[in-house]
Homo-oligomer: A and B are copies of this chain.
């Protein structure tokens, strides 16, 4: 019985106090034909020593190597301090800070997180996390539909330059509430949305326009003009952004004349390990006017009985545990520990450090793609400004090349044909600050080699 502290003597004493003669008697209200399934499929328990050995072997079997894959998750340097502090028992093993007086550590940290995220996004307010970037977009769509009181249509414009996995998740989540996502086609030459394309919706009842910056192809959208168009047409603007990029790019709060209404995205780049896809966290910020429509926990600063500063969950009347079927969302448990890590990460980097990291991501991607473009059989696709991802086009289907390079320990980018047949020769590549010149050489050499053979 690992983790159960009871001695035989304890058990005797406890049963006597309860007035039963066996533990099984405690289950006497359960219909007896349901009791004790036996569980032949569950193996015997093992000691910590044994599982440690197993996990070490399993972890060792998972390949590591240079990583040019992004497509929604990015390998960044995570300072050691981040997780050494985040996994302290007081953060790691605490519950949601409902008892404010006994949770000032987590609460103040979240307040600081909200301040940093608001600052990075140039927005008025932030919540304290959603599940991930994909589901955050879904929540943003639901929120926009609630917040846009003038719109009754439930129509959301979503460019085809938005991460397709985000669109899938959003469709799953909002699909049952009469909301429709309408696709905005991007310019096939530039890989970004032309404002002119939106003119077909001019004057229509649109609840919101989604703008991803940098977009799925790594390209920078004309966020200013798109935002102005949407707001002129009564639509809210939902920004989906990469937080690292926001150290150097115009933040959503400054898009167009009034700024985006909601900013959301994937928080993983802020100190969260890749970890095969999770746990990450979705972030969400908004303008003051919309804060009561925002889902998720929000912490406010206030004072205690003696006038001292303190922090507490606030605006709980938005949430399911108070408002039940009228809540802004069903979210309860969020990704709090990831927010803890991100807060420590952002504190360590500061605006200065994050700007340097972002700068090196961009510069490394430039270096990488210039190098790749020099390889026979490789060309760059989609012209125009980018942040830290770009599309390279091969002279043959990308998927087999991707698999081949992976078997050599190189993650060669994301094969875009998985979502769009027209792009089946394309790889979306990324080089963060962790990539060295030697890594780039290794990739370029392996790719040249792979393409040297006839397709």
Contacts and interface: CB of A to CB of B under 8 A. Distances in A.
A429 B300 CA distance: 63
A433 B84 CA distance: 29
Contacts of A47: 77
Nearest to A360: B49
Contacts of A87: 84
Given A87-B84, A88-B88, A433 B79 contact: no
B49 A434 contact: yes
Nearest to A88: B88
A80 interface: yes
A17 interface: no
A104 interface: no
Contacts of A77: 47-49, 52
Interface residues of A, number: 14
A48 B434 contact: no
Contacts of A436: 53
Contacts of A433: 49
A340 to B, nearest CB: 15
Interface in A429-451: 433-434, 436
A7 to B, nearest CB: 11
A85 to B, nearest CB: 8
A216 to B, nearest CB: 27
Interface string A62-102: 00000000000000010110001001100000000000000
A48 B80 contact: yes
Contacts of A48: 77, 79-80
Contacts of A434: 49, 53
Contacts of A80: 48, 52
A84 to B, nearest CB: 7
Nearest to A81: B48
A79 B49 CA distance: 8
Nearest to A56: B64
Interface in A35-67: 47-49, 52-53
A52 B88 CA distance: 22
A86 to B, nearest CB: 12
Contacts of A53: 434, 436
Contacts of A79: 48
A232 to B, nearest CB: 44
Given A48-B77, A49-B77, A53-B434, 10 more contacts: A47-B77, A48-B79, A48-B80, A49-B433, A49-B434, A52-B77, A52-B80, A53-B436, A84-B87, A88-B88
13 contacts: A47-B77, A48-B77, A48-B79, A48-B80, A49-B77, A49-B433, A49-B434, A52-B77, A52-B80, A53-B434, A53-B436, A84-B87, A88-B88
**Closest 4 A-B residue pairs measured CB to CB?**
A49-B77, A48-B79, A49-B434, A88-B88
